[in-house]
Structure formats: C-alpha cells, structure tokens
Amino acid sequence: MTKKIVTTYAKSLFQNLKNSKPAQEKRTIRSNTFLGKKKEIIFIPDVVILREELSLVRSAIQSSKKLTSYFQSPVIPEKRKLEILQAIFPGLSIPLVSFLKVLTERNHLTLLPEISEEFSRLLFEFKNYVKVKLITSTFLQKNYGKLLLESLKKLTQSKSILLSVSYNPKLLGGFILEYNSTILDLSLLKEFSLFFNDI
C-alpha cells in the first residue's frame, strides 16, 4: 500500500512540474553591504532542480539517526516536522514547499525519502539518464574521462551517464561496472577466482 502512495505522490509532482512552464520565483535577499540594500534573484525551478532539493532533504533526514527517528515518530506533530525542515532548508523552491505542506496535511511527511527516490527514478527514465557505478582497482587518469563516458553511453544506450566511481585495490586490476541491474565484472580478482576454481 505504501509503495502505491509513494508512486502516486512522485508521479503527480513530476507531471505537474513537467507539464507546466517553469515559473519564475522572485526572492529578495539582503546583500552583505553595510547599507543593507536588497537584491532580487530570479530562480526557475524545474524537475532537475526539484530532484536535487528532494535528494538534499532526503540525505539530511537519512544521514542523522536522530532526524530519522524524529521524522518517523507518530507522536511528533507533522506541522512541527515541517517547521524543522523549513528551518534547516530556508531556501526551498515554492513547488517543493507546497508539496511538503500537502504531505504534512495528509500525515505523509515520513514518506519523503521514498518519494525522493521514486521521483529520481522517474526523472532518470524521462531524461534517459543511466546511473553507472564503476569500481576500479586504481585511480583513473584525467584523460580517461571523456573516452570512458562515451564508451559507457554506447554500452548503456543512454544520452547521459550519472557516474559514481569507487576504488577497491582488492580487485588487483580491471574494473566492475554496475548499471540497470547489470553487473559486468572485468577484474583480475574474478579471473583469479575462476582460475583457482578450475584447478
């Protein structure tokens, strides 16, 4: 049941932003001058920016055990949880603030991390992004970047790659690629394991 609710929230938020022209928000910010002059900044929220905001809020909630238990507690009023989020993130876009208010009214603020993940999945699917995890045995050289990304685009058949790189010297050499539930293990560790299994 929860999965269905999360999917419904993420889809409705995504569709509302995707179908509407990005509205311009005007925010007034006090500059650091001693005269206290005000400066206007134009901010245009869209699905990508909203995804970043949702990810930021999700990370903040999930990175702290205290915040996680605070947001999952049924004893604490939803309005208080919303006030905490707005205090931590005072510059959230108007669409996200409105969405958080809807979640608060329906007592679904605890679903925010799952909604954020589902929203990201919808965005990646819409923009044809693929998340690729690359595990190498050594640090990559700078000149490999462009060639690597072009090769990954061909391999995954996507327009854009969201690449995360990690290093594991235990691989001895080579690399492991993970994308779309596919694992491509081209490490020396795997080759040695297969060799020793055959003996």
Its domain, for residue 109, covers 2-123
Enter the tokens of residue 43.
């901010």
The CATH number of the domain holding residue 19 is 1.10.520.20
- Residue 25: the pLDDT is 47
- Residue 32: the pLDDT is 52
Average pLDDT across the chain, whole number:
80
69 & 133 share domain: no
53 & 118 share domain: yes
30-34, 118-122, 133-137, 154-158, range with the lowest pLDDT: 30-34
- Residue 119: the pLDDT is 92
pLDDT, tens only, 128-163: 788 888 888 877 777 777 777 788 888 878 777 777
Whether 58 contacts 117, CB under 8 Å: yes
Closest Cα to residue 163, out of 128, 125, 132, 121? 132
**Phi, psi of 145, rounded to the nearest 5 degrees:** -55, -55
16 & 111 share domain: yes
Q: How many domains does the chain have?
A: 2
Query: Rounded CA gap, 129 and 154, in Å?
Result: 13
Whether 98 contacts 50, CB under 8 Å: no
CB atoms closer than 10 angstroms to residue 152: 17
- Residue 150: the pLDDT is 80
132 & 96 share domain: no
- Residue 53: the pLDDT is 92
**Residue that is last in its domain, among 63, 88, 123:** 123
91 & 137 share domain: no
7 & 90 share domain: yes
